[in-house]
Homo-oligomer: A and B are copies of this chain.
Amino acid sequence: MRKSAARTGPAGGKVTLEMVALRSGVSPATVSRILNGTAVVSDEKRAAVDLAIAELGFVPNPIARGLAGGRTLSAGVITQAIDSPFYGVALRGIEEVLDKAGYIPLFVSGHWNADEEKRCIEVLRSRRVDGLIVLTGRLGDAELGKVAKTLPTVITGRVLKAPGLYSLQFDDFEGARLATEHLLSLGHRRIAFIAGDPVHPDANERLRGYRSALQAAGVRFKSSLVLQGSFIEESGRAAVQRLLASGEAFSAIFAANDQMAFGAALALYEEGLRVPDDVSVVGFDDLAGATHSIPPLTTIQQSGLEMGRLAAASLLELLAGELPKAQLPKPQLIVRASTRPIAPA
């Protein structure tokens, strides 16, 4: 009769640590020690326990672990929209790395709203996450520093040094410089820039990079070639419509992200202008869609996947008491079919 306890596999409900202890003839404490490597255990006992675990199909209960040990093996991840084409890839990287380490990510969306982000943090805190990853986010630096005091945190999209906090940032300036330089090298001189929402630090950095490249090439900056966008397709489309209406001459467009570049290309298409024959277009991000857009988009690659992976790995290091030192890879120019040498005037 007792043998029925051997009913194995995850299908049979709740196998507890205590049951493993009983079956292997040791104390629950020892089983716990083996599970966590908390102390040295004799080889025989270890073998017996391992066997029992296998036979019973025991799986530790993270909930109980969380209550007892304070660790939940879960990490909170604050993204802005779970279906964002850029951050979505980052989530995949996070999931991949965290999962390998036995951690589970808790994804919550802040919707580009500081108050919502605060709420997210409270929710995550109440779920007793071991650490936190914030993708960009609107929360102030000070606020974030406070959070990190009690919750190991990795933040992307800004530089910020504080105890318990590690930040990861792309070189937006360099990326924008690269993109602009590419257009300049193709002979373009009248290069329009579609800027992102200035509340994002990234947006300003990219504008800086654009200006810097122009200056280095001796091309005068014209503010009439800078259009305000908001990082979404429609804003890129509207920007180009305004540009066209203004009568300002231009032979190329650099959009501060791919989504706006798509919108810009559409606006050109709608006006009968061809990319790259009439106008060259460069984006920023290298979204999945950039490969198969028409034409395939020349852009600056900043790997969201790698960002996610590194953020997760850094958090894991933070949790292990180590000091992360990962750096995001340098931005790279990906030349596709949306740019070409300027046509002779």
Contacts and interface: CB of A to CB of B under 8 A. Distances in A.
Range for the number of chain A residues in contact with chain B: 35 or more
A95 B109 contact: yes
Nearest to A236: B292
Contact of A126 (B60, B85, B122): B60
A295 B233 CA distance: 14
A89 B84 CA distance: 9
Given A83-B91, A92-B82, A92-B83, A126 B62 contact: yes
B107 A127 contact: no
Contacts of A62: 126-128
A234 B108 CA distance: 32
A218 interface: no
Contact of A292 (B66, B95, B263, B296): B263
B104 A104 contact: no
A109 B92 contact: yes
Contacts of A125: 10
A82 B88 contact: yes
A251 to B, nearest CB: 19
A293 interface: yes
A95 to B, nearest CB: 6
A51 to B, nearest CB: 20
B72 A95 contact: no
Given A63-B63, A266-B296, A13 B122 contact: no
A128 B61 contact: yes
Interface in A71-92: 72, 81-85, 88-89, 91-92
Number of chain copies forming the complex: 2
Interface in A170-192: none
A67 interface: yes
Interface in A96-129: 99, 104-109, 122-123, 125-128
A63 B105 contact: no
Among A63, A67, A108, A295, find the residue whose CB has the most chain B CB atoms closer than 10 A: A63
A129 to B, nearest CB: 10
A289 interface: yes
A222 to B, nearest CB: 27
B59 A67 contact: no
A80 to B, nearest CB: 11
Interface in A41-82: 59-64, 66-67, 72, 81-82
Given A10-B125, A95-B82, A95-B108, A262 B292 contact: yes
A150 interface: yes
B233 A59 contact: no
A240 to B, nearest CB: 12
A211 interface: no
A37 B107 CA distance: 29
Contacts of A293: 262, 266, 293-294
27 contacts: A10-B122, A13-B150, A59-B122, A59-B126, A61-B128, A63-B63, A63-B66, A63-B127, A64-B67, A82-B82, A82-B88, A82-B91, A82-B92, A83-B288, A92-B109, A95-B108, A95-B109, A99-B108, A104-B106, A104-B108, A104-B127, A233-B291, A262-B292, A265-B294, A266-B292, A269-B295, A293-B294
